[in-house]
């Protein structure tokens, strides 16, 4: 057990390191995680013959958080305009894609019917985490409300793929009956959606009425809700992935204390879950079987990308489809942004741990398809969007995610006017405020005054101004530097005090007093300097 925990910790550290260096060598990080899994023999993991079941359960948990974050990170006010369109893509579109891939496998590759449509079901959904990552990191603002359509579809189509996979596994095992299949589909959709709504609304009710003692407890509560959103509907035959996605949307789009930091937390958790899934995929892969799977995988990938997916999207969104508001270029881009990823991997692992093992090596074929999709499709999305003239330089794709806040750029500050102030006895219009500054309020003798251009500034006024805040990146850090009571710098002015390059003293704490310093501010023993310094980036 200790050896296993140590190995797991080292693997996570190695994966995070690979994530950092992947950009330098031009290889997607997920492929490096996959390769890392491949070079570690299964016999050294301590799991023995149970490795497939362990990987299946671990990847199932990972996919729960990926689905939850798919909803949690979606901004409903932007996405709701594309919900109807996305719903058809996530259900009918997935079914059409699965059906066409199944027909291709049967007639072109000469597979039997059950295995053909099982392959189509496993590979029919798109990968939300990969799509979100590309849109965010590349800042791809897209024309015509295309980004919300892509995001909602990719975040919500895994439940349909899971349901089709489950049904086709029953067909393969010979246990499927018409009545059972109809009931399974009904229960999966209805119970999954109902549980998602109830759990999501219940969690919001608790979050708005219960004050957690610290953010750590809040995080644990959200984690518990995410796990419950899958477990509860699964107990009664509902679709746990659909429930997790709905709960994510509800929580991500309702206000509660510390909601926005949760976005960053689950972004990190989702990244870790992807690392785990791709590492585990590599752990199960065998080079000899992958060589045999390359040819069918390449054929299926190109049929999926160039025929099945375009037909599915075009029949729903195209000029001759149900939603005629989408142009041919939009339809082509939505079709191309159909990356295969974590969900297909988890469903393929479900197949090889099922009651009946198919004759075709579906796992190895899915392995190769996912690798090709990430390596080829993922890297070409910005290029294709540009060639289709679908990039909108004036559109901010971050507005489609729930951590975007229209008021996040506004910041309030205040200063006190004295007799020597340059603004004393001036009217507001005479103050010559810097561009981007607005005088929002004057506090005079304890009363709040909303000024206009003729309002006169007086000594003793507290001026409250508004400006755009600087959205600091990780390269800026704050730290405190105490000055000893017996320091030789007591009585010296601040500009004489030695400091590191690329740093500035923002504030001096002196007892209970907080002083905003200037170069001629006199230092005293016991002062605490609050310093901002630019962190050197080694990447």
pLDDT for 539 equals 44
- The residue assigned the tokens 């693997």 is 11
pLDDT for 91 equals 94
Of 382, 389, 455, 377, the closest CA to residue 423 belongs to 455
pLDDT for 1 equals 62
Which is more confidently placed, 108 or 78? 108
146 vs 81: CA distance, rounded Å = 10
Over the stretch 414-425, which tens digit does the pLDDT of each residue have? Answer: 788 888 788 889
- The residue assigned the tokens 């999207």 is 313
Do 350 and 169 form a contact (C-beta atoms < 8 A)? yes
For residues 176-192, average pLDDT? 89
For residues 54-59, average pLDDT? 80
pLDDT at 34 over 50: yes
Do 304 and 59 form a contact (C-beta atoms < 8 A)? no
Over the stretch 146-162, which tens digit does the pLDDT of each residue have? Answer: 888 888 898 889 999 99
Angle between helices 128-137 and 146-156 (to 10 degrees): 150
Over the stretch 292-344, which tens digit does the pLDDT of each residue have? Answer: 999 999 999 999 999 999 999 999 987 655 556 788 888 999 999 988 988 89
Q: Which residues contact 487 (CB under 8 A, 6 or more apart)?
A: 523, 525
Say what percent of the chain tops pLDDT 90: 30
205 vs 282: CA distance, rounded Å = 42
380 vs 337: CA distance, rounded Å = 9
pLDDT for 288 equals 85
488 vs 251: CA distance, rounded Å = 55
Q: Which band of pLDDT confidence, cut at 50, 70 and 90, is reported for residue 77?
A: confident
Q: Which band of pLDDT confidence, cut at 50, 70 and 90, is reported for residue 227?
A: very high
Instruction: Supply the mean pLDDT for the chain.
Output: 82
pLDDT at 78 over 60: yes
pLDDT for 400 equals 55
Indicate the range of 251-260, 301-310, 380-389, 422-431 predicted with least confidence: 251-260
Q: Which band of pLDDT confidence, cut at 50, 70 and 90, is reported for residue 272?
A: confident
> In this structure, which long-range contacts are made by residues 506-515, counting pairs with CB atoms below 8 Å and at least 24 apart in sequence?
506/478, 506/530, 506/531, 506/532, 509/480
pLDDT for 59 equals 82
Q: Which band of pLDDT confidence, cut at 50, 70 and 90, is reported for residue 45?
A: very low
Radius of gyration of the chain (CA): 28
Q: Which band of pLDDT confidence, cut at 50, 70 and 90, is reported for residue 469?
A: low
DSSP symbols for 331-381:
HHHHHH-----HHHHHHHHHHHTSSS--SS-HHHHHHHHHHHIIIIIHHHH
Output the six-digit token pair for 469. Answer: 């805040």
272 vs 529: CA distance, rounded Å = 37
Buried b (16+ CB within 10 A) or exposed e, 413-425: eeeebeeebebee
- The residue assigned the tokens 């741990």 is 353
Q: Which band of pLDDT confidence, cut at 50, 70 and 90, is reported for residue 32?
A: confident
Q: From the centroid of its chain, how far is CA 17?
A: 20
Burial of 54 from C-beta contacts in 10 A (0-12 / 13-18 / 19+):
middle
Q: Which residues contact 199 (CB under 8 A, 6 or more apart)?
A: 225, 228, 229, 232, 243, 247
Phi, psi of 286 (to 5 degrees): -125, 125
Calculate the alpha carbon distances from 532 to 350, 447, 476, 499, 506 in Å: 51, 34, 7, 11, 7
Output the six-digit token pair for 425. Answer: 């006895």
pLDDT at 253 over 80: yes
pLDDT at 135 over 80: no
Buried b (16+ CB within 10 A) or exposed e, 288-319: eebeebeebbeebbebbbeebbbbbbbbbbbe
Which is more confidently placed, 28 or 111? 111
Output the six-digit token pair for 520. Answer: 């001629």
Do 490 and 515 form a contact (C-beta atoms < 8 A)? no
Give the up-direction half-sphere exposure of residue 65: CA atoms within 13 A in the CB hemisphere. Answer: 22
Output the six-digit token pair for 204. Answer: 């919001």
Q: Which band of pLDDT confidence, cut at 50, 70 and 90, is reported for residue 60?
A: confident
pLDDT for 48 equals 47
């Amino acid at each position: 057990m200790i050896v296993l925990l140590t190995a797991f910790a080292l693997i996570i550290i190695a994966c995070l390191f690979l994530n950092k260096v992947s950009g330098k060598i031009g290889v997607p990080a997920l492929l490096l995680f996959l390769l890392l899994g491949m070079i570690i023999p299964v016999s050294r993991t301590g799991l023995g013959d149970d490795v497939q079941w362990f990987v299946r359960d671990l990847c199932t948990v990972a996919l729960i958080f990926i689905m939850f974050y798919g909803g949690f990170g979606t901004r409903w006010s932007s996405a709701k305009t594309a919900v109807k369109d996305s719903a058809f893509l996530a259900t009918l579109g997935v079914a059409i894609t699965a059906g066409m891939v199944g027909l291709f496998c049967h007639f072109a590759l000469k597979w039997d019917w059950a295995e053909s449509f099982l392959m189509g079901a496993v590979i029919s959904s798109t990968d939300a985490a990969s799509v979100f990552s590309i849109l965010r990191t590349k800042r791809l603002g897209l024309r015509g409300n295309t980004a919300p359509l892509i995001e909602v579809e990719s975040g919500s189509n895994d439940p349909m793929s899971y349901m089709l996979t489950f049904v086709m596994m029953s067909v393969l095992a010979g246990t499927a009956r018409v009545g059972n299949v109809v009931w399974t589909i009904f229960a999966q959709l209805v119970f999954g959606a109902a549980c998602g709504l109830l759990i999501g609304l219940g969690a919001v009710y608790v979050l708005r009425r219960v004050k957690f003692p610290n953010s750590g407890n809040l995080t644990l509560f959200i984690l518990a809700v995410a796990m419950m959103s899958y477990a509860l509907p699964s107990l009664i035959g509902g679709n746990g992935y659909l429930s997790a996605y709905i709960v994510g949307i509800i929580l991500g789009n309702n206000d509660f204390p510390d909601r926005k930091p949760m976005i960053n937390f689950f972004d990190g958790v989702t990244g870790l879950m992807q690392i785990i899934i791709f590492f585990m995929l590599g752990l199960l892969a065998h080079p000899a079987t992958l060589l045999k799977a390359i040819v069918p995988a390449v054929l299926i990938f190109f049929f999926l990308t160039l025929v099945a997916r375009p037909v599915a999207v075009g029949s729903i969104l195209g000029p001759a489809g149900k939603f005629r508001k989408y142009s041919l270029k939009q339809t082509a881009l939505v079709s191309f942004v159909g990356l295969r990823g974590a969900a297909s991997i988890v469903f393929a692992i479900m197949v090889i741990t099922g009651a009946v093992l198919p004759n075709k090596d579906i796992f190895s074929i899915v392995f190769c398809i996912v690798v090709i999709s990430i390596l080829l499709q993922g890297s070409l999305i910005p290029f294709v969007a540009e060639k289709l003239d679908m990039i909108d330089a004036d559109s901010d794709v971050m507005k489609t995610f729930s951590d975007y806040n229209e008021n996040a750029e506004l910041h309030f500050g205040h200063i006190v006017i004295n007799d020597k102030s340059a603004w004393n006895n001036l009217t507001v219009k005479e103050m010559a405020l810097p561009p981007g500054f607005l005088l929002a309020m004057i506090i005079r003798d304890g009363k709040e005054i909303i000024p206009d251009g003729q309002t006169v500034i007086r000594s003793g006024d507290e001026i409250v101004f508004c400006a755009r805040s600087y959205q600091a990146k990780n390269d800026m850090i704050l730290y405190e530097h105490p000055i000893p009571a017996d320091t030789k710098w007591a009585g010296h002015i601040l500009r004489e005090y030695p400091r590191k390059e690329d740093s500035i003293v923002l504030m001096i704490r002196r007892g209970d007093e907080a002083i905003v310093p200037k170069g001629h501010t006199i230092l005293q023993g016991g002062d605490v300097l609050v310093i901002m310094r630019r962190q050197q980036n080694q990447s």
